[in-house]
Amino acid sequence: MDIEIISKKKMYNGYAKVEQWQVSQNGQTKTVECVQRGQSVAVLPYDRSTDSVLVVSQFRPGAIDQGPSLIEMVAGMIDEGETAEQAALRETIEEVELALDGSALTKLGRFYLSPGISTETTTIFLVEADLSQVDVNKIGGLVKEGEQIRKHLISAQALRTMLASANGASVTLALAASALPL
């Protein structure tokens, strides 16, 4: 495939950065939009002793048709100078107040979430952890980022059932759940 980016124009420079590109593809010129995002991580804590997982929900504008939130994994952007593993550990503390053993992280892969519109990639981790001390009644997240994250401890089987019914879960969660022990 013969692709050439002819020009790029910044359209918006907020939380998301949107560019409009003029692209030549096999001799045809077209206009496309691209959301410039960095790299992110998503973490699914799993407690083998109770066969349960820790998932979260929070307001997500893209999922508004599911209600104001959807079930997803602990997740966030990788900061400059940070590894995916470091970001996974930091985000888990920030969002659900769970300190993890970094050596327990199992990297499941790195994926483009929506390459038709965005440059963002997400590295997904499964981690075995003791979830007995998680306070699901306490709202998590960083106040300075406007986060109001609800924590949910659910059985791995309930998660599998939810995913089979396409009940508004993120694709990253579905990928991570597929790695849970049967």
Q: Which residues are catalytic?
A: 145
* DSSP secondary structure string for all residues of 165-182: TT-SB-HHHHHHHTTS--
Helix (H) or strand (E) holding 85: helix 84-96
| CA 31 to each of CA 3, 20, 24, 28: distance values in angstroms, whole numbers, following the listed order | 13, 7, 9, 10
Instruction: Enumerate long-range contacts of 2-9, CB under 8 Å, 24 or more apart.
Output: 2/26, 2/27
Edge-to-edge strand ranges of the sheet holding 17-25? 3-13, 17-25, 28-36
What is the C-alpha separation between 130 and 99, in angstroms, rounded? 10
SS3 assignment, position 20: strand
Measured between alpha carbons, how far is 112 from 147 in angstroms, rounded to an integer?
24
